[in-house]
Amino acid sequence: MRYKLLAGIAVGIIATLGVAVPAQAISPTTANLYVLHAVPATPVDVWVNGSVLLSNFQPGTLTDAQDLPAGDYTVVITAVGAPITTPVIGPATLTLAANTSYTVVAHLDAGGNPTATLFTNDLSTIPAGQGKLTVRHTAAAPAVDILANGTPAFTNLTNPNEVKANLPVGSISAAVALTGTTTPVIGPADVAIQEGVNTIVYAWGSAEAGNLQLAVQTIGGLHSNPTGVNTGSAGLTADPNPAAIGVGVASLLALMIVGSAATVRARKSRVGA
């Protein structure tokens, strides 16, 4: 289900969620922002600078990119219909830089508490013949090592961090092992890499509650100037069955959400409750 942004803040954010903003909107003075709601069973209202911008925003919803003036935004997330003075998450300040793409994710931390993380989407040029795979851990679930063709490629991935790499177009054999080992717990599974596309996969939900789900976001056109051709697409899958996503990307996330504890950090900005 898609929702509309309501006018009402000083910077004049007026847009329709679900309609992709052209890449040319990312300019020297603007940023673009996707929003992913990844707190299970919790419809919310999203407030920005004191006004409700997303009303009755449902879990599992990913918006398309919205073009916003660069600057600071005060974000509060409440239960549907609740006053801004009773937040579920926030208040938190999101600082958006010009000529940059972000995804803000409302999700559970490793202990199962609601929080939010602002990720910077990598729009750097991808060499010919390659694609980018980004994995973001936003679930209340333990850490893992990701194996590529039997060798640890990403290690100790924990909430709320990400890992990424440029990979040749084609398939890799991916598996998950307990941290520090190379014996697969699940897998291996084939993962497809698409040319010039940053495929971003999210684990969200709670392992303890048994409601882990998967989201997929893709940003394409990155085999050229990333700020001039980033039309991309924002897609979402909330079905934990790997067949629902296809081409093996879900298989990697299904592996990622089983493992043991440790920590690694990748470039990201975090905002908390």
Question: What confidence tens digit (pLDDT) does each residue in 211-237 have?
Answer: 877 788 889 999 855 444 443 444 443
76 pLDDT higher than 90: yes
16 pLDDT higher than 50: no
pTM (two decimals): 0.74
DSSP helix/strand/coil, 43: coil
pLDDT of residue 196: 95
Q: Which carries the bigger pLDDT value, residue 81 or residue 53?
A: 81
pLDDT of residue 143: 82
In sequence order, what DSSP letters do the residues of 61-95 get, joined into one string? -BPPPEEEESEEEEEEEEETT--TTSEEEEEEEEE
pLDDT of residue 128: 94
Angstrom distance (rounded) from CA 32 to CA 74: 16
Q: Which carries the bigger pLDDT value, residue 242 or residue 187?
A: 187
Q: Name the strand (E) or helix (H) holding 104.
A: strand 101-108
pLDDT of residue 199: 85
pLDDT in tens, 24-48: 347 788 999 999 999 999 999 999 9
User: Please, what is the average pLDDT of the chain?
Assistant: 74
Angstrom distance (rounded) from CA 232 to CA 192: 17
pLDDT of residue 111: 94
66 pLDDT higher than 80: yes
Look up residue 177 and give its two tokens.
């092992």
194: pLDDT confidence band, cut at 50, 70 and 90?
A: very high
**Within 10 Å of residue 41's Cβ, how many Cβ atoms?**
9
Angstrom distance (rounded) from CA 204 to CA 35: 14
195 pLDDT higher than 70: yes
In sequence order, what are the beta bridge partners of 134? 164, 200
Amino acid at 144: V
